[in-house]
Structure 1
Amino acid sequence: MDFEIFKDVGLNLVKEYGYLGIFLIGLSEPIFQPIPTEIFIISGVLLGLDWKLVLIVSTLGCNLGAIITYCLATKYGEKLALRLFDEEKLKKGEKFLKKWGVMGVIVVSFTPIPFEIICWVCGMFNMPFEKYMVAVFLSRMIKHGLAVLPFVLPIKNYLPF
């Protein structure tokens, strides 16, 4: 898979559409998009977008994308997921989710396991929706918050960018 195309499209979305572009990238991440939203969050802030609005729209986009993914995975389950991801990744995601439960959704934000895989697995294996959404919200707020943190702290004047 050519990740460059996702990166280029994402960077152009941020450059051309600002907050809407970041929202759309956030929306696509839990569904299919393989590049972490944080790359585009940082790009948006570097382009002059307000970090608070970037944090809000990226988190809202990711949460809406997580709802869509959960619904698709619940309704179409494994059949659709296997068209998007290979079976080995899904089995790894299922094993991870069974071991960690709700905390797994939060933990996955800080591992190499793609976030979209865990979202699909949560829907496929019917994790309680309310718990899933709390975990998604917290994981995205923490991860996206860490992405904008260098631009918020007083050290921002000493950063090379």
Structure 2
Amino acid sequence: MFQKIIDFLENFGVWGLFIHSIADAIIFPVPAFFTQVSLSVVNPSSAIWLATAGFIGCLLGTPVGYYIGKVLGKSILYRFLKKEWIDSATNLFKKNGEAAILIGSFTPIPFKVFTILSGSLAFPLWKLIVYAAIGRAIKFYAIGLLFYYYGRAAKGMVHEVSTYIFLIGVPVLIIGLLIKRKYGKKKQEAESGQNVTLDSTPSE
């Protein structure tokens, strides 16, 4: 059934990918990655435009998935997706929500798991959109650039390149997050120390 839906969407080209990307961020269990690759194989010269449509569609669908999670909770995910995906994503979120979203942009776990979980676990929407934009941009445009420069031959490279992006890109992004968090903590401690000093200064 899902394959028939994907085949139907592919008939609409870039608009089909756009719709699939919106649905991918909301509830559709098959990632937009498959439609992007299929359409890029047919017309490699439009691969960058396809990546852009997929990226924008994903960002538009992200808040919708978020509010579904906020209203209905994560229980809705169990009706459509594998339990191990949901449990794995939940564990990631509990450890570090920001890293979970970045990692989720590259893993086989469907992205809607992270948008719905963000809502159900009250993760800030603006942070979800920012980190989703970073992760999904890398994923969509890496595939787009691959097909744009290598044409149909890129089809055989997609999975290998995706693996390299995951192994290199994700650690770099997470290190960046850790540095940002450490800097924020130091800044907070410095401000706290300043406030204590001011409070302890005797008034004349």
| Residue of structure 1 equivalent to 2:153 | 159
* Structure 1 position 152, deviation (Å): 2.4
Aligned length: 154
In the alignment, the residues of structure 2 paired with residue 26 and residue 80 of structure 1 have an alpha-carbon distance, to the nearest angstrom, of: 19
What does the per-residue CA deviation read over 1:18-71, in whole Å, with 9 as the maximum and x for residues that have no partner? Answer: 111011110111222222212111211222261222111111111111111001
| Residue of structure 1 equivalent to 2:26 | 31
Q: 1:157 to 1:108 in 2, by over 3 A?
A: closer
Deviates further, 82-91 or 22-31: 82-91
Tell me the amino acid that sits aligned with residue 139 of structure 2.
Answer: K
SS at match of 1:159: helix
What does the per-residue CA deviation read over 1:64-105, in whole Å, with 9 as the maximum and x for residues that have no partner? Answer: 111110011112224544444466654432211111221210
| Residue of structure 1 equivalent to 2:71 | 75
Q: TM-score, normalised by structure 2?
A: 0.66
Q: 1:29 to 1:158 in 2, by over 3 A?
A: closer
Tell me the amino acid that sits aligned with residue 36 of structure 2.
Answer: I
Q: 1:57 aligns with which of 53, 57, 81?
A: 53
Q: 2:140 aligns with which of 141, 144, 158?
A: 144
Tell me the amino acid that sits aligned with residue 97 of structure 1.
Answer: F
| Residue of structure 2 equivalent to 1:96 | 92
Q: 2:126 aligns with which of 127, 130, 142?
A: 130
Tell me the amino acid that sits aligned with residue 138 of structure 1.
Answer: I
* Structure 1: runs of 5+ lacking an equivalent: none
Q: TM-score, normalised by structure 1?
A: 0.82
C-alpha contact (below 8 Å) 1:11/1:43 kept by paired residues? no
In the alignment, the residues of structure 1 paired with residue 81 and residue 154 of structure 2 have an alpha-carbon distance, to the nearest angstrom, of: 38
| Residue of structure 1 equivalent to 2:117 | 121
In the alignment, the residues of structure 1 paired with residue 74 and residue 27 of structure 2 have an alpha-carbon distance, to the nearest angstrom, of: 15
Tell me the amino acid that sits aligned with residue 70 of structure 1.
Answer: Y
Q: 1:74 to 1:143 in 2, by over 3 A?
A: same
Greater Rg by CA: 2
Match status 1:19 vs 2:48: no
In the alignment, the residues of structure 2 paired with residue 19 and residue 86 of structure 1 have an alpha-carbon distance, to the nearest angstrom, of: 29
Match status 1:112 vs 2:120: no
* Structure 2: runs of 5+ lacking an equivalent: 156-204
| Residue of structure 1 equivalent to 2:62 | 66
Q: 1:143 to 1:67 in 2, by over 3 A?
A: same
C-alpha contact (below 8 Å) 2:47/2:144 kept by paired residues? yes
* Structure 1 position 109, deviation (Å): 2.2
Quick one: higher RCO (CA 8 Å, sep 6+), 1 or 2? 1
| Residue of structure 1 equivalent to 2:191 | none
